[in-house]
Amino acid sequence: MLVGGNESYCHSTVSDEYHYMRSELEDSLESPVEFYKDSEHFPIKNNCLYLANCAIGPLYQPSLEKMQNFLTMQSESGIQVADHYGGILSSFREKVAHLLRTEADNVAYVSNTATGINILANGYPFAKGDQVLSYVHEFPSNHYPWLLQKNRGVELILLPDVRNADEEAHPQPSHWSFEDLKNNTTERTKVIAISHVQFASGYAADLKKLGDFCRDRKIDLVVDAAQSLGVLPVYPEDYGISAIIASSWKWLLSSRGSGIFYTSPDLRDKLKITCAGDAMMKHRLDYLNHTWDPFPSARKFEYSTLPWEHLISLETVLEDIFIPYGMEAISKEVFRLQDLFIQHLDETIIRPILFPPINRSGILSVESDADPNTVVSKLREQNIVLTSQGGYLRIAPHFYMEDVDMIHAARALSDTIKTVVPN
């Protein structure tokens, strides 16, 4: 089966050599899985070479169409739209549960990562003097909600960054160490709140090792999976994770305004409800009944009216892509594309940040002597889109990218850096 699709870029900035290279690769390269890689499913391929899935993933075209169908039906029929979409919440939970290898009762919808983490942090039964352990360079969504708990007498302990020997020359954030985590864990540590993948460097935590550590010490492991869900396998019950929160508009290729919230039954039983509304109650449609009777499942956190169009978007891409392909196949394809990119880099001027296989993610960060923002801007002029964070350039392809795309991007990046770095 061929890896590549058939479409070509419509912009004059893409050379004849590039199109020839595409044709040669399509005739020679094979993949064990035939992924959707065509512009019909991913129209962004008609406009640019996109390597910024770690920022915002392009919306899967069938998801957009189903969202539009729903909104059109709502426009034309009002409340009668529920006759056609009344089961969307149940279907959403079942598909997410399949993705996470858990039960649907453990899944709730949230609008974004920050919302889910705030629900957790504000509802956790902390006592004065308890500690939360996190990393100094966590994404703000997984920092401020825990910092806010100082008002309850909770101490936030931040793990230091691991630096190489050339720290002064390369001060960019990298990752935390397991040794530091062990040394900072005390009997007062109640929660370890950590990102599966660090958004700047791309370092992925070994969730199995971390989960075993937390389980042995009866610590709740809370994982921000915004940079991993959709590109790496995440199985909370295999890893001993108490909670997983992720937005779905990055690697899950869905619309902004949707997210996934997993809680284990043990954690859910401990959490206090801090937000309330009709949707969380068993009698939710009986609006004159004010009995306090919330669902025992994760639905207790879905306290308000949910945006069905976003649910439809996420459910569609889960059904079409992530469940049929499987996360192992998707991550393997992304790593293969990254490797191809690295092979065609000029490593005399560009330094890829390479972690051990267990710590690899969808983000490949690279360093150079060029200003990252300048490089990003110049590549945009060539219709190549990537991002920078923490002094790195972040290369974040998804499975829909093609081999020729990665080769072209590597060469363009190398050439661009040569133009902006003084000899």
- Using pLDDT thresholds of 50, 70 and 90, give the confidence band for residue 106: very high
The domain ranges of the chain are 16-61+326-420, 66-324
To 5 degrees, how large is the angle CA 214–CA 215–CA 218? 85
- CA 332, distance to chain mean position in Å, is 16
What CATH superfamily classification does 16-61+326-420 receive?
Aspartate Aminotransferase, domain 1 (3.90.1150.10)
DSSP conformational letter for 59: P
Helix (H, G, I), strand (E, B) or coil at 217: coil
CA distances from 390 to 52, 372, 396 (A): 15, 9, 15
Residue 171: per-residue pLDDT: 66
- Using pLDDT thresholds of 50, 70 and 90, give the confidence band for residue 423: low
Assign residue 325 a region (left: φ > 0; alpha: ψ between -120 and 50; beta: otherwise).
Answer: alpha
- Condensed to tens digits (0 to 9), the pLDDT of residues 169-198 reads 456 899 999 999 999 999 999 999 999 999
Could you tell me if 396 and 232 are in contact, meaning their C-beta atoms sit under 8 angstroms apart?
no
- Condensed to tens digits (0 to 9), the pLDDT of residues 25-51 reads 444 344 567 898 999 999 999 999 999
Largest CA distance in the chain: 75
Q: Name 10's Cβ contacts closer than 8 Å, sequence gap at least 6.
A: 46, 47
Angle between helices 403-420 and 372-380 (to 10 degrees): 120
Domain spanning 66-324 has what CATH number? Answer: 3.40.640.10
pTM: 0.89
Residue 168: per-residue pLDDT: 52
Residue 172: per-residue pLDDT: 80
- Using pLDDT thresholds of 50, 70 and 90, give the confidence band for residue 84: confident
| DSSP-assigned states of every residue in 106-167 | GEEEESSHHHHHHHHHHHS---TT-EEEEETT--GGGTHHHHGGGGGT-EEEEEPPB--TTT
